[in-house]
Homo-oligomer: A and B are copies of this chain.
Amino acid sequence: MSETTSTRAARLSDVARLAGVSAATASRALNGSDRGVREANRAKVLEAAKTLGYTTNVAAQAVARGRNRGVTLVVKGIPEDYANPIISGVVTAAQRRGLPVTITSAGTDPADLVEAVHNARSHRPEILMITGGRATDDATIPELVDALQRYEAEGGRVVLITQPGLPFDTVAYENRKGGYDMAKTLAGLGYRNFAVISGMKHGLTQRDRTAGFIEGLAESGIQLPADRVLIGEFTRDAAYAMTGDLLRRGIPVEAIFAVNDAMALGVLTFLRDAGRSIAVAGFDDIQALRDVTPSLSTVHLPWDQVADEALTMAMGPRGDEPRTIMIEGHVVVRESTPSVVP
């Protein structure tokens, strides 16, 4: 406890004094770009800042400017081990534009999301981006919409990466069509007996993907009995467990459609552990798939493009109406769904 000389952090006025200019000039030299500062002074300020180890106090900056630079990304349930492709997409896209991005995570509970949004809102970022599926039965939606609308009214920018339907600029991807296409593809490969491993009942993402899949099957002349749709948590581990349940029931299944890749991996691994050979298909085309055997058939989504569109929309002028950009995916057939010889 000897050398704990608790110094104050250097502040702008310190820099200004050392450089022999006013705080206003120092500010202009360091951050405010619009107005000119004589070259000699600018150099002195930069020099002084360096010797003092000065860092802008962004909090103070945000207070003065009324807004925080950059984008705040609210994500549902980070701790999943398979990286969320949206996160890396947004981070890279923002980096390319020189925007700082702050990630705040919410639990999987809808109420957590609202809280996380409140939290993010309290940072007053220029851009507030929210990702994570919505649920139909979600009682917190009105509250969420309210908070976000208020935020927009205050001059903030809101972009959603999720299902369309909320009154905000949205980048969405074709969940239903992806499921539909996958069903047709699998039927085309000769499969007839299916099961679906899905997530929480009311989640829109999984609901649309499942509904699309069922519709695609129906159009191929295949009825999917209700008990073939298993529902649980939206995670790899839950999918692993659900596959066990499914097999224990002794239903003859030829192919399992999991509503996302992480879950599909859980299914795949369970089947391998159990020594069963059943076709598996997923959704998302996360990078982790590259290292898995058999390679997984899935619906590819161009995540980088999704993130990029979202950022472009956020940085562009605000439209009169909320816009929605739909991104299409396409089915990729790999080893996990070999064609069936009749």
Contact = CB atoms under 8 A, between A and B. Distances in A.
Interface in A220-266: 236, 265-266
Nearest to A290: B269
Interface in A88-126: 88, 91-92, 95, 100-105, 107, 118-119, 121-124
Given A147-B53, A272-B293, A154 B59 contact: no
A82 B124 contact: no
B80 A83 contact: yes
B62 A150 contact: no
Given A6-B153, A83-B82, A104-B100, A63 B57 contact: yes
B58 A123 contact: yes
Contact of A95 (B105, B123, B265): B105
A291 interface: yes
Nearest to A68: B59
- Stoichiometry, copies per complex: 2
A319 to B, nearest CB: 9
A4 B6 CA distance: 47
A190 interface: no
B320 A291 contact: no
A292 interface: yes
Interface in A62-90: 62-63, 68, 78-83, 85, 87-88
Contact of A60 (B1, B7, B63, B103): B63
A287 interface: yes
Nearest to A92: B79
A193 interface: no
Nearest to A151: B9
21 contacts: A5-B153, A7-B153, A7-B154, A9-B124, A53-B147, A53-B150, A55-B122, A58-B123, A59-B59, A60-B63, A78-B87, A78-B91, A79-B88, A79-B92, A81-B82, A81-B287, A82-B83, A95-B107, A102-B102, A102-B103, A268-B291
Interface of A: 1-2, 4-9, 53, 55-63, 68, 78-83, 85, 87-88, 91-92, 95, 100-105, 107, 118-119, 121-124, 146-147, 150, 153-155, 236, 265-266, 268-269, 272, 286-288, 290-293, 318, 320
Given A6-B155, A265-B291, A272-B293, 8 more contacts: A9-B124, A53-B146, A59-B60, A59-B61, A59-B124, A81-B286, A101-B104, A291-B292
Top-6 shortest CB links A-B: A59-B62, A81-B287, A83-B83, A79-B88, A265-B291, A9-B154
